[in-house]
Amino acid sequence: MARPKKKRMVFQPPQYTSFKPNGVRMNTLEQITLNLDELEAIRLADYQGKEHNEAAEEMEISRSTFTRLVEKARCKVSRFLLEGKHLFIEGGDIHFRGNILRCEHCGHMFKTGFEFLIKFCPACGSSELLDLAGGFGHGECCKGHHHNQRR
C-alpha cells in the first residue's frame, strides 16, 4: 500500500494562472496543467536559484522528490514554450505559507497571512477583495502548517 501523499508547502498563490501564445484562440489550444507544487519548484530552483536540498527543505519534502517535481515542471513549461500550448496553473496537494489579496475596485495587490482578517483595501478602502488562495480552495486549512517558515 502506498504512503499517503504529503502536502507540499507553497509560498503564496500565483497572481496569474493562465498563459497562451499571443494571437491564438484559447479554444484551439491543447492545455497543459502545471500543479501549484510544480510552479513552486520552478520558482525556488530557477527563479530564486536555490540548491535542490534547500528548496526541498522549504517545501517540506525530500530532495529526491523535489528533483522529480522540478524536472516534471520544466518539461511542461518547455512544451508550452516550444509547442505553443495553453499553460494552466491549478491544484495539487499543497498548503500556502501566505496569501495575496487583490482589490477588485482599484487593482491593488497586497500580501497577507491567514491569521489576519482584512476586510478593506489599504489603498482605496474598498471591500471588494479577491482572496487568491481562496480561489484554490485554501485559507483556513493552511493555518498552522508553517513548520519551517522562514519569512
In the block, which residue shows the cell 513549461? 77
**Full 3-state SS string of the chain:** CCCCCCCEEECCCCCCCEECCCCCCHHHCCEEEEEHHHHHHHHHHHHCCCCHHHHHHHHCCCHHHHHHHHHHHHHHHHHHHHHCCEEEEECCCEEECCEEEEECCCCCEEEECCCCCCCCCCCCCCCCEEECCHHHCCCHHHCCCCCCCCC
111-118 — which CB contacts under 8 Å span 24+ positions? Answer: 111/12, 114/139, 114/140, 114/142, 114/143, 115/143
- What percent of the chain clears pLDDT 70, i.e. is strictly above it? 91
Contact indicator for 100, 13 with CB cutoff of 8 Å? yes
What's the pTM value of the predicted model, to 2 decimals?
A: 0.86
- pLDDT tens, residue by residue, 126-149: 999 999 998 888 877 876 655 444
The full set of domain ranges for the chain reads 1-94
- pLDDT tens, residue by residue, 52-83: 999 999 999 999 999 999 999 999 999 999 99
Higher pLDDT: 5 or 25? It is 25
